[in-house]
Structure 1
Amino acid sequence: MKKLFAEFFGTFWLVFGGCGSAIFAAGIPNLGIGFAGVALAFGLTVLTMAYAVGSISGGHFNPAVSVGLAVGGRFPMKDLIPYIVSQCLGAMLAATALYMISLGHADFAIDNTKPGAFAANGYGALSPNGYALASAFLAEFILTAFFLIIILGATAPTSNGKFAGLAIGLGLTLIHLISIPITNTSVNPARSTSQAIMAGGEYVNQLWLFWTAPILGAIAGALIYTYLISKRETAQ
């Protein structure tokens, strides 16, 4: 249960900190943190929780990461569903908290016809810069694959584990710097689910992509690392 609670709170912090920065701090005139600030916020949430609770649960905070680690032999398949449920519940509670805070602003309203509504992910008309479905899918697939390669490499027995959280957090920051204009960056189905449900409308209909592409990308990244990269390391 401690592992599940760690995943719950870690995912809560990721959504509350990352999506919260997008909702509250990104667009303030002359003072807003912009895309770069939101990207850094997401990276910092994972970095801080990796060191805070990573030793308890492994610090996944992401269903795609859990799937990738299971495929890569770093995580037992029997624990996969409980982890994913805990992550999604943590994300939903964070989205609810963000919504309740937002209600305190007189002008608050969610326009789910516009890109980035309540920090949700989208493609086509809901992409921040108008990227089509195929572009969104490919970006989410590739970026999640590399995220898994970073995670597996940084946490390998031959790596310096003290710096794993830093590498993973910076990796997620880079991923957001690349893809916020494309999809508002998912690479995390729990994060996408919580915000899509709160935003509603077409965001819910597009949610399938933000489960399918990250999970397939995570599987690909795990297979690439396990059968190409790590074997090469052993051979040397």
Structure 2
Amino acid sequence: MSTPKATEPTTGSKLAAEAVGTFLLVFSIMGTGVFGAFFLVPDAAPAGGVIPIAVALGLGVALVIGVYAFGPISGGHFNPAVTIGLAAAGRFEWRNVAGYLVAQVVGGLLATTAAMAIGVFGPDGWIAAAQASGFGSNGYGELSPGGFGLVAAMITEVIVTAIFVWVIISVTHPDRPTPFAGLAIGSALFLLILIAIPVDNASINPARSLATALYGGSDFLMQVWVFIVFPLVGALIAGFSYKALFDNVKR
């Protein structure tokens, strides 16, 4: 009896998986960081009362679910920084990057749009309060949760994104794959989100930042470039440096 031939998902299936996985991540932010705020602290504006660990845990769990559910289809990037970092490391073809980025941005925008649609049928004043609090957006200066400035946000996003991409490249290494890689990736995101939330509300994912800023208001939208550019800088650093730092072997 012949062995069944493994099938390769179509490009459409891969892009759909990236969109749905990104939707899951961003919608988890909406649930924990926006909807959850009214539930946990009724008198607080959305995203103003929820404890950071709830947001970080929600994102970490969402990523674990996404990696195991959709990773076998598309590789489970769900983040332009991850796609760019893997391409820089030679683990993903540059010709496929644009399609993945578009799918991720669409997935993120659908998630925040769905949250707005739910909010239309929420308590009186919910949408206004959600947008006044930034709708889960990233920010620096007066828009930073801890009052951190622009340079602090730049440095933080480069560092945490580089670490995140290094972890992903390491645990999915073709010569030394890590058992339960999805758990390691989700745990890394959980930790890094906790670190970055006080500084700039933690991006690490340009698609997530763009999706929330579009509904967060003009002030957050004017700052969103930081959370597009510097996660990508961190990803490129991680991708191009991985081989030199971690792929040295004894001869």
| Band of TM-score, shorter chain | over 0.9
CA shift, 1:112, in A, is: 8.2
Greater CA drift, 192-201 or 32-41: 32-41
Partner AA of 1:77 in structure 2: W
- Residues 20/113 of structure 1: CA separation in 2 closer, same or farther (3 Å cut): closer
Kept after mapping to 1: 8 A contact 2:131/2:215? no
Would you say the 8 A contact 2:145–2:199 is kept in 1?
yes
Query: Residue 157 of structure 2 is aligned with which of 140, 158, 165?
Result: 140
Q: 2 CA distance for matches of 1:235 and 1:202? A: 52
1:29 paired residue number? 41
2:180 equivalent to 1:168: no
Of residues 143, 146, 149, the one that matches 1:126 is 143
Q: Does 1:100 align with 2:117?
A: yes
- Is 1:202 equivalent to 2:214 in the alignment? no
Question: What does 1:209-228 correspond to in 2, within 5 Å?
Answer: 209-228=226-245
Change (3 A) 1:26 1:224: farther
1:67 counterpart (70, 84, 104):
84
Q: Is the 8 A contact 1:154 1:164 kept in 2?
A: yes
> CA separation in 2, counterparts of 1:235 and 1:126?
49
Deviation, structure 1 residue 202: 1.1
- 3-state SS, counterpart of residue 186 of structure 2: helix
Gaps of 5+ in 2: 1-11, 43-48
Aligned residues: 232
- 3-state SS of paired residue (1:119): coil
Structure 1 residue 17: deviation in Å? 1.2
Is the alpha carbon distance of 1:104 and 1:134 closer, same or farther for their aligned partners in structure 2, counting shifts above 3 Å? same
Task: Name 2:21's counterpart in structure 1.
Answer: 10
Which secondary structure does the structure 1 equivalent of 2:81 belong to? helix
CA contact (8 A) 1:26 1:37 kept: no
Aligned equivalent of 1:152, options 154, 159, 169: 169
User: Secondary structure of the equivalent of 2:114?
Assistant: helix
Residues 101-124 of structure 1: per-residue CA shift (max 9 Å, x gap)? 12222131345896x511000011
8 Å contact from structure 2 (residues 116, 127) kept in 1:
no
Contact 1:64 1:215 in 2 (8 A): yes
Amino acid at match of 1:100: A
Question: Post-superposition shift, 1:161?
Answer: 4.3
Q: For 1:206 and 1:7, locate their aligned partners in 2 and report how far apart those are by CA, in whole Å.
A: 25
Contact 1:66 1:83 in 2 (8 A): yes
Q: Take 1:113 and 1:129, find their aligned partners in 2: how far apart are those partners?
A: 19
1:179 matches 2:196: yes
After TM superposition, give the deviation of residue 42 of structure 1 in Å: 0.6
Aligned amino acid, residue 102 of structure 1? G
Residue 180 and residue 66 in structure 1: after superposition, are their counterparts in 2 closer, same or farther (change >3 A)? same
Deviations 1:186-228 (A, max 9, x none): 0100000000001121111101101110000001111221221
Distance 2:26 2:13 in 1: 20
TM-score by length of 2: 0.88
Q: Secondary structure at the match of 1:157?
A: coil
Question: 2:87 corresponds to which letter in structure 1?
Answer: A
C-alpha separation in 1, matches of 2:72 and 2:114 = 26
> Aligned partners of 1:45, 1:16: CA distance in 2, in Å?
9
